[in-house]
Amino acid sequence: MEKTQMAMLKLVLLGPPGAGKGTQAKSLSEELGLAHISTGDILRQAIQLDSALGKEAKHYVDKGELVPDGLVTKMVIERLKRPDAKRGFILDGFPRNIKQAEDLDSFFAQEGYSDYKVIYLDATEKTIIQRLGGRMICKKCQAVFHMTNMPPKEGSRCDFCKSELYQRQDDREETVKYRLSVYAQATKPVVEYYARQGRIMEFDADRESSVVLKEMLQGL
């Protein structure tokens, strides 16, 4: 595919918690000039700002439960209508259930986006537990690190803005287990939904991130 066509890509990124969706979406958006739309990041930012959306979402996010469809779908559709997203985007963390996938398809049909692609990053439970157990996030710029896989240069400070790093509330072991059960029950059927449409491009995300990125770029 030509570089100019790649920059207009419309991508949906699916996968279990900790598969590396956020990490790969950031790299893909930088490589291809696409808007990176992460529902998890938008919700965590709203919680930090204590906005009306944040107040409603906090309880669900902290427990690892899905935030009600009405709140999330509206937020995503509004974001997709912005000019940067009209030039190409990567959706990271949406859709998370069949209702969200159907609502997204209705919006895509309305916009004439019939050629969108779905990337599915699969990872084993062992990898997921190791990755989420060591993940650290910057309080200010939300950059993501891992205490052993991608350690920050200076203790627990962000490499980019030097702010403090923290562990996500939902990365505690019991909550990770709960998130995996939510994924199996609500989100795995979305993978099957897109497989039936013949859109899925599947990648083994247990491997080093640069290897996965290279393979995805080749696949696209």
Selection from 81, 70, 94 nearest residue 21 by Cα: 94
Q: Does 39 bind ligand AP5 (CB under 6 A)?
A: yes
Q: How far apart are CA 140 and CA 193, in angstroms?
A: 36
Contacts of 90 (CB under 8 A, 6+ apart): 9, 11, 12, 13, 25, 28, 29, 34, 35, 36, 37
Among residues 117, 157, 168, 172, which one is catalytic? Answer: 168
Residue with Cβ nearer ligand AP5 (29 or 39): 39
Contacts of 213 (CB under 8 A, 6+ apart): 24, 27, 28, 31
Residue with Cβ nearer ligand AP5 (8 or 167): 167
Window of 27-35, 39-47, 102-110, 195-203 that interacts with ligand AP5 by CB under 6 A: 39-47
Q: Does 129 bind ligand AP5 (CB under 6 A)?
A: no
CA distances from 176 to 33, 101, 122, 201 (A): 32, 23, 16, 26
The nearest distance, CB 51 to ligand AP5, in angstroms, is 15
Q: How far apart are CA 220 and CA 54, in angstroms?
A: 35
Q: How far apart are CA 66 and CA 69, in angstroms?
A: 8
The nearest distance, CB 39 to ligand AP5, in angstroms, is 3
Q: How far apart are CA 118 and CA 194, in angstroms?
A: 7
Note if 135 is an active site residue.
Answer: yes
Q: Does 99 bind ligand AP5 (CB under 6 A)?
A: no
Report helix, strand or coil for 217.
Answer: helix
Q: Does 93 bind ligand AP5 (CB under 6 A)?
A: yes
Q: Does 58 bind ligand AP5 (CB under 6 A)?
A: no
Strand order in the sheet with 165-166: 144-146, 135-138, 165-166
Q: Does 65 bind ligand AP5 (CB under 6 A)?
A: yes
Note if 179 is an active site residue.
Answer: yes
Q: Does 142 bind ligand AP5 (CB under 6 A)?
A: no
Which position among 150, 201, 217, 220 is part of the footprint of ligand AP5 (CB under 6 A)?
150
Which position among 9, 12, 14, 19 is part of the footprint of ligand AP5 (CB under 6 A)?
19
Report helix, strand or coil for 74.
Answer: helix
Note if 86 is an active site residue.
Answer: no
Q: Does 56 bind ligand AP5 (CB under 6 A)?
A: no
Residue with Cβ nearer ligand AP5 (162 or 214): 214
Note if 199 is an active site residue.
Answer: no
Catalytic residue numbers read: 21, 96, 135, 168, 179
